[in-house]
Amino acid sequence: MKFLPKEILESQVEGRNLTGPSFGDNLPQKPSLVVFLRHLGCIFCRETVEDLRIFSSEMAAFPPILFVYPDSVREGEEFFSRFWPEAKAISNPNASFYESIQVQEGNLIELAGPEVWVSAVRALAKGNFYGVQGRHLLRMPGVFLVLKDRILWTHSYRHIGDEPDWSKIPGCTPLPTDEYDPGILPA
């Protein structure tokens, strides 16, 4: 089992809708998703935030989410006030948290390969668009399911547009809705 580095957990943070002064203070006592976004102008960053906003509102069992982004607090305020005002997000303009948790920079195939172009069409079809390019153009995204300092699950991105199946996160089971029909009748 892997752990979040102590230097991340103890670091003082700034951002949006935070509950405490350190990174660790913003992780609840239950499993939560820590989502390391690419720069805020990335179409896939926008797609991820929008998809997670929808999933978390539709699935009662979905874990709480803490975003980390490599841009300034001001840029994060502008971005999240537009895309998800209630989101908790930590600004990390020098990308030190990315380095500590080993969310690397991508190579040419991971950043602009054929799968990225196919993914861009998917993101565009969902109504997402490119924004102003940030400083960390080469940075890959990262997603970790954590319980305080323990990393329970991670998604290894094949390329920048590779999106996890959010409904298959361990421990996250969709709850039935009115439209749910198991096809089983009582005896």
Q: For the residues of 47-103, what is the DSSP string, one character each?
A: HHHHHHHHHHHH-TTPPPEEEEESS-HHHHHHHHHHH-TT-EEEE-TT-HHHHHTT-
Domain ranges within the chain, ordered by starting residue: 6-176
Q: Output the six-digit token pair for 14.
A: 């700034």
Give the dihedral sign, CA 34/38/40/45.
negative
* Residue 168 three-state SS: helix
- Give the pLDDT score at 184: 53
CATH code that applies to domain 6-176: 3.40.30.10
- Give the pLDDT score at 121: 82
- Give the pLDDT score at 180: 47
H-helix or E-strand spanning residue 112:
helix 108-112
pLDDT tens track of the chain, all 187 residues?
Answer: 699 999 999 999 999 999 999 999 999 999 999 999 999 988 999 999 999 999 999 888 899 999 999 999 999 999 999 999 999 999 999 999 999 999 999 998 888 888 888 888 887 788 777 776 777 778 999 999 999 899 999 998 999 999 898 888 877 665 555 554 555 545 4
| pTM of the model as a whole | 0.87
